């Protein structure tokens, strides 16, 4: 059986929308919500949803002091009762066959350390079915893993299953693997960037396969729908923490990854590549999207 763990902070308003999709999964008899010292009505929302699913054990665990992103996952899996763990998100829906398909893959192949479906970022007011139809097998012709940004191109086109060095945050794994490699509590400050990547890469460099499949999906709510809560920080802080945590992450794993990924440049060069990439994503790309008539108003 599977335990689902959902770390959350001040996201009662999103849990109202996505929470039921976790209770509708097969092979799930335990769901653990870890509230990182939030101050909204998360507990009431969880109670309201869970009362409709009495056969599923619901655990609400609250951090009295804020501990950060990775701590919620550590609290979750140390309190889990099952051999398999699925990490959920408080702002993402699961397709109804999500756990069923992922469990089947990881049981049939014991070299798989963790497995996820495709994650689709929804457009505003888009239904899940519409998102899946728009996305298909991906919407961009590019490599699924970007060595320079050291992250996945989540919109990359690929069919069937693909092996990657890492995947996104909504994945299935074994509790024994979490106990072996664990989440690093260092990612407790700021936005906790790289917290799940750290665990996944640790498994990858130690010989476990990381698989992402097109057979099932999860659907992330649009940015317009998720305006508050979680580990959100402004863009300047996001840039700082992303570089800060990536430097720590590279210090741990870069040399091990060079051979596995055929990387020919140094760790310091990799940090420069990553920093430039993040600056472009956070500051240059949004500017490019400003309509031309606004530019004309600014510079007339």
**Which CATH number fits the domain that encloses residue 72?**
3.90.550.10
Nearest to 182 by CA among 287, 77, 40, 295: 77
> For 114-134, what is each residue's pLDDT tens digit?
999 999 999 999 999 999 999
For residues 193 and 282, what is the distance between their CA atoms, to the nearest angstrom? Answer: 14
Are residues 249 and 117 part of one domain?
no
Name the pairing type of β-strands 209-220 and 112-121: parallel
Are residues 245 and 170 part of one domain?
no
Are residues 85 and 178 part of one domain?
yes
> For 13-59, what is each residue's pLDDT tens digit?
999 999 999 999 999 999 999 999 999 999 999 999 999 999 999 99
Q: Is 178 helix (H, G, I), strand (E, B) or coil?
A: helix
- Last residue of a domain, which of 174, 192, 225? 225
Are residues 142 and 214 part of one domain?
yes
- Structural domain for 158, as ranges: 2-225
The answer to whether residue 230 is domain-embedded is no
287 band by pLDDT with thresholds 50, 70 and 90: low
- CB neighbours (10 Å) of residue 68? 20
Q: Is 166 helix (H, G, I), strand (E, B) or coil?
A: coil
Q: What would the two tokens of residue 178 be?
A: 């979490």
The answer to whether residue 65 is domain-embedded is yes
Are residues 286 and 173 part of one domain?
no
Helices 195-205, 235-261: axis angle to 10 degrees equals 0
How many domains would you assign to the chain?
A: 2
pLDDT at 206 over 70: yes
Answer whether 261's CB lies under 8 Å from 41's CB.
Answer: no
């Amino acid at each position: 059986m599977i335990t689902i763990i959902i770390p959350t902070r001040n996201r009662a308003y999103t849990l109202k929308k996505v929470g039921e999709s976790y209770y509708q999964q097969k092979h799930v008899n335990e769901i653990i919500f870890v509230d990182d010292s939030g101050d909204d009505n998360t507990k009431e929302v969880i109670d309201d949803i869970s009362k409709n699913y009495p056969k599923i054990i619901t655990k609400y665990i609250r951090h009295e002091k804020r501990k950060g992103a990775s701590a919620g996952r550590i609290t979750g899996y140390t309190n889990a009762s099952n051999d398999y763990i699925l990490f959920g998100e408080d702002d993402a829906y699961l397709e109804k066959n999500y756990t069923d398909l992922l469990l089947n893959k990881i049981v049939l192949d014991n070299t798989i350390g963790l497995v996820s479906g495709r994650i689709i970022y929804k457009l505003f007011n888009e239904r899940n079915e519409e998102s899946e139809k728009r996305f298909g097998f991906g919407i961009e012709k590019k490599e699924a893993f970007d060595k320079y940004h050291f992250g996945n191109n989540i919109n990359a086109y690929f069919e069937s299953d693909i092996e990657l060095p890492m995947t996104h945050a909504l994945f299935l794994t074994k509790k024994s693997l979490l106990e072996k490699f664990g989440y690093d509590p260092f990612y407790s400050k700021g936005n906790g960037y790289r917290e799940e990547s750290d665990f996944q890469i640790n498994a990858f460099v130690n010989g476990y396969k990381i698989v992402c499949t097109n057979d099932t999906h999860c659907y992330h709510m649009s940015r317009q729908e998720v305006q508050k809560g979680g580990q959100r920080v402004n863009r300047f802080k996001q840039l700082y923490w992303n570089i800060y945590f990536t430097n720590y992450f590279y210090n741990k794993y870069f040399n091990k990854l060079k051979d596995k990924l055929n990387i020919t440049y140094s760790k310091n060069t990799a940090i420069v590549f990553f920093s430039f990439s993040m600056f472009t994503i956070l500051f240059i790309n949004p500017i490019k999207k400003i309509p031309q008539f606004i530019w004309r108003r600014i510079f007339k």
